[in-house]
Amino acid sequence: MGRRKVPLEAALRKVDFSTARQASPVGSAEERPRLPAALFRELREQARLENRTYLMEHECKELLEGMGIATTGHLVAGSEDEAAEMAHRVGYPVVLKIVSPDVVHKSDSGGVRLNLHHSEEVRKAYREIVGGYRFQHVVGVAVQPMAVPGIEAIVGVTRDPNFGPVLMFGLGGIFVEVLKDVTFRVLPITDRDAEEMIREIKGYPLLKGHRGKSADLAALKSLLLRISALVVAFPEIRELDLNPVFLYEQGHTVVDARIFIGETTDAETAAPPAANLKKFFYPKSIAVLGASGSEGKLGYNVLWNLLNHGFKGRIYPINPKSAEIQGVKAYPAIAAVPDAVDVAIVIVPAEAAPAAIEECCAKGVRFIVVETAGFAETGEAGKRVQARLKEVIETHGCRILGPNCSGVLNTHHSMVQSIGLIGELGKGNLGLVAQAGVYAAGIITGLRNVMDFGIVATIGNKMDISETDILEFLGDDKHIDVIAMYMEDVTSGRRFVDVARSVTRKKPIIALKSGRTEAGKKAVSSHTASLAGNDEINSAAFRQSGIIRARDNEHLFGLMKAFAKQPLPQGDGILVVTYTGSLGVAATDTLYLNGLRLADLEPELKTRLQRIIPDYVTTLNPVDYSFSMEPGQLKQTIEIGLESADVSGFIAVIQGEILGSFVDVLKKIDTRGKPLVACVACKEFMMADVIRMERAGIPVYSTVEMAAEALAAMRRYRLYREEASK
């Protein structure tokens, strides 16, 4: 054991921290980040020999400098004479810090002396530090120049069980300690990710410049990209803290650094892409193992759904006790089916499932849907049965959806596999991925009245086929324009981010993710990890991949129908037409709070509008007709707005008692690519007319706030997609 020996003359350097060294931007043609692999292996081996799970500060800084990242240095003195010599050479004032494998938190234990101005102070500080740790193994004392204060920042990395390594950035001091003004991204990050991280913290105005101080944003972006490259190159880095980092008008310097190391876990290994799922979603033949002719049984429901929704392919009920089920020839075992089977739906008791799946694989079935419950979700015994399922499919190369799911629905293929009876469905452009089968069944049962789904996939325990696999398929399916997701956790998070980012450049993804609280948060070692709550990382991953996050179910449903039924706003100007001024004011507030505004009609259009509005109406946006608003007035107002270059969308606030009289008028309006949404207060009490309006393609909301939020989300997504396409 002992400190790394670096020749003093080679190691000593004079640093002018007022113009701290600035590395070239990562990714530039002139310089790629250096990856000091040999040095990292040496440091990691030294830590292993000393039974350490972290690198000491001087080791961290040596590694960072090997990446071209400026620090306050990594010199370690073994005596007070050496400390004094180092201090003289680096220049006063200096800082002394304990270097010991037994000490992680140096400041808390009295192992730091600041602002030392001459050799006697250095010698005294050296003696005090070494004496204070006489019962610990002391490697030496680090000697570093006092950094010139700058804008204080923190950069860190933690490991998330779903997404793997995650980068954090924020301002230091009170901003991180009290306000927690930090942001996250899943690694590796891109140039755009780094720029967004810098801009989205609340303290960004301080970085741009405040009271004569500013930060070198190019150098800061380079730092974030270099840390990303470092951690991706060396996955043994479990956690990392650079705190503080001083940001200057030119460059930056790392004042303190901490790195924890360990082994890479299987959960962080990138999952391979899924096989082509075309035959899974568009099969030509389906076998139902556990099919039943007894009403009320799940095997009855699945077969009934396939038959009554007109599945055009071949259906093979499998039941050893019946020759015919629901009018269809049955077979005693799947091996007895004379033809090839694309998909098998398994609805047998959990303990019988491994044998049933073994038979399916032996038959040559490529895709299996296990709708039975009683697996990993029930405890240890269920986990063992589920593990057996995984062994079977890995041996045979088959794919499983579930277990504990409700199968797949594809209206464009007349296929409904649900374990719950589903009524008539229209063909739609909505795709839905739901982790909970019962959740999806309930949504479809209710929302089929106002929305048309194209594909719905429930994934249950997602033992094999995951939300990412299905998302990737839906991204390419020509029938699907909008994708919604209900998620409880994420499998293979890095691949999920990559796939979602690719899909959102073509189609919007709207996700409702449960688990927003801090309950169950694991114990952590670093400052970064303590700030990285599960929900913060989920939100960061969604932002990074362009996913629109819904805050609750009602928000999810509201966004789904807006995106599915209406075009995206081309601009930010909205025309509000209402029968009550109070809701017009509420709509105005929400528009401006969400990045939209009231459109300003051209003078000629204002004159035309004034001819049709009552004399008591004093504002032309919102247009408040009071209780005298009639369908014809609303139609004329919208048609005037359609001619305005400043109007990019409409909110129509309609009196519920007379909603029915507006439906036929509004559905005949050609909105010319401009979205129209409606608000009907207390719409729950006039659902028949609301459904008629929704079926006419106009989303109806209970509040103007929800209507305005939907338009704002659509506008933000359009801007995101335009930016992503550059």
What are the DSSP calls for 394-428, one per residue? HHHT-EEE-SS---EEEGGGTEE--SS--------
Percentage of the chain exceeding pLDDT 70 = 91
Supply the Cα-derived Rg of the chain in whole angstroms: 32
Task: Give the DSSP H or E segment for 345.
Answer: strand 343-346
pLDDT band at 271 (very low <50, low <70, confident <90, very high): low
Q: What pLDDT is attached to residue 258?
A: 93
Percentage of the chain exceeding pLDDT 90 = 78
DSSP-assigned beta bridge partners for residue 649: 574
What is the C-alpha to C-alpha distance for residues 706 and 590, in angstroms, rounded to an integer?
A: 9
Single out the residue of 705, 475, 683 nearest to residue 586, CA to CA: 705
Enter the pTM of the model.
0.88
Q: What pLDDT is attached to residue 515?
A: 65
What is the C-alpha to C-alpha distance for residues 560 and 484, in angstroms, rounded to an integer?
A: 7
> What is the residue whose two structure tokens read 């009550």?
580
Reading the block at residue 209, the tokens are: 């410049």
Q: Is 30 helix (H, G, I), strand (E, B) or coil?
A: coil
CB atoms within 10 A of CB 211: 6
Q: What is the mean pLDDT of the chain?
A: 90
Reading the block at residue 330, the tokens are: 């049955």
Higher pLDDT among residues 713 and 437, named by residue: 713
Strands 573-578 and 623-624: parallel
The CA–CA distances, whole Å, from 81 to 4, 44, 84, 87, 130 equal 18, 30, 5, 10, 13
Residue 166 confidence (pLDDT) above 80: yes
The CA angle 301-283-556, to the nearest 5 degrees, is: 65
Ordered by where they begin, the domains of the chain are 8-145 (3.30.1490.20), 151-265 (3.30.470.20), 278-480 (3.40.50.720), 568-724 (3.40.50.261)
What is the C-alpha to C-alpha distance for residues 686 and 659, in angstroms, rounded to an integer?
A: 8
Q: What pLDDT is attached to residue 179?
A: 73
pLDDT band at 227 (very low <50, low <70, confident <90, very high): very high
Q: DSSP label at 477?
A: -
Q: By CB neighbour count within 10 A (0-12 exposed, 13-18 middle, 19+ buried), where does 150 fall?
A: buried
Mean pLDDT of 264-287: 76
The CA–CA distances, whole Å, from 502 to 185, 473, 720, 721, 724 equal 16, 12, 12, 11, 10
**Model confidence over 601-649: pLDDT tens digits?**
999 999 999 999 988 888 899 999 988 899 999 999 999 999 999 999 9
What is the C-alpha to C-alpha distance for residues 702 and 583, in angstroms, rounded to an integer?
A: 11
Reading the block at residue 205, the tokens are: 């105005």
Q: What pLDDT is attached to residue 24?
A: 37
Which residues, at least 6 apart from 6, have a Cβ–Cβ distance to it below 8 Å? 62, 74, 75
**Model confidence over 443-482: pLDDT tens digits?**
888 888 889 999 999 999 999 999 999 999 999 999 999 9
Q: What pLDDT is attached to residue 516?
A: 59
Strand order in the sheet with 453-458: 415-416, 408-410, 453-458, 430-434, 482-487, 509-513, 548-550
**Model confidence over 306-358: pLDDT tens digits?**
999 999 999 999 999 999 999 999 999 999 999 999 999 999 999 999 999 99
Residue 69 confidence (pLDDT) above 90: yes
Cβ atoms of residues 214 and 234 within 8 Å: no
Nearest 5°: phi and psi at 56?
Answer: -75, 165
**Model confidence over 192-211: pLDDT tens digits?**
999 999 999 999 999 998 87
Reading the block at residue 406, the tokens are: 């409700």
